[in-house]
Amino acid sequence: MRQRYQLKQRPQRSRSYESDEHERGACEWCEYALVITLATILLIGVSALTIFWTFFYREGYGWADDIPEKQFNLHPTLMVAGFITFSGFSVLLYRICRCFRRIYVKLLHAIFHALAFPCIVIGFLAVLDFHNKKGINNFYSLHSWVGFVAMGLFGLQYAVGFFSFLLLLICNKGTANFRASLVPIHAAFGILTFVLGVCACLTGLTEKALFTLGAERYSGLPDEGVIINAIGVAIIAILAVVMYIVSRDKFKADSREMRASVDL
């Protein structure tokens, strides 16, 4: 009787366990797909919105001497592209690409930061040249100070990352311990750089709204004011998604893969 009971029970238990596992796996993949989709929409959307704002309200881009404002327009667009879109994709891909070999993920991480690099440099030169043409002082505002620190950290992080995690692979085994000890420092400073980029963009958008619209028109919240605020809100949403991805251990490559990554 007991044997029959056991025979009857076993398949049921096993089915229920499998179903639980299956459900958990499905849930995890669902969250994974949702986060990737949301992040992609936001990261492309914020740059698209900035370009739309420039063409619809600010007369587009240029580098001629007659309309320096068109040259200034390169500054917000390229800085948002560099500090938010490309840097955001770079962090995102590094954390969620679990199916590729780690060396390819590292290369993707480096390539997206390499795309951000010229954006930040040209975006910086555009505003510097605009200020000089218009006779405006440089580096007086809080926005410029925050942006300067963010750019410095970005450059330093790129140099250290490129040298340590790609060039030092030439001497793979000899540098494994050094590279492994550098990973948490590189990650912490990387997130700090991203957050500083966000702070620079938000203070920059606030400045731009007050310079262009003026305090009185801005307080009436015209269409352009809504667009500027929407760009800021999209940047905050990206920050929230990136911090969620970074804080979730589930999105992290497991320790076995990490060891292999250090060896590659």
Query: Could you tell me the CA-to-CA distances from 206 to 77, 143, 196, 215 in Å, in that order?
Result: 15, 9, 15, 11
First to last CA, the chain: 59
CB of 6 to its own copies, least distance (A): 29
Q: Which is nearer to its own copies, 138 or 172 (CB)?
A: 138
SS3 call for 98 = coil
DSSP 127-167: HHHHHHHHTPPSS-SHHHHHHHHHHHHHHHHHHHHHHHHTG
SS3 call for 63 = coil
Q: Which is nearer to its own copies, 142 or 260 (CB)?
A: 142
CB of 231 to its own copies, least distance (A): 9
Taking CB under 8 A as the rule, does residue 179 contact its own copies? no
Structure tokens at 4: 């029959």
**By rule CB under 8 A, what string of x and - marks binding of each residue 107-146 to its own copies?**
-----------------------------xx--xxxx-xx
Q: Which is nearer to its own copies, 202 or 262 (CB)?
A: 202
Total of residues contacting its own copies (CB under 8 A):
44
**By rule CB under 8 A, what string of x and - marks binding of each residue 183-222 to its own copies?**
-x--xx--xx--xx-xx--xx-xxx-xxx---x--xxxx-
Helix ranges (DSSP H) in the chain: 2-57, 68-72, 74-79, 87-96, 102-134, 142-165, 176-212, 214-219, 223-247, 255-263
Residues forming the site for its own copies (CB under 8 A): 136-137, 140-143, 145-146, 149, 184, 187-188, 191-192, 195-196, 198-199, 202-203, 205-207, 209-211, 215, 218-221, 225, 228-229, 232-233, 236, 239-240, 243-244, 247-249
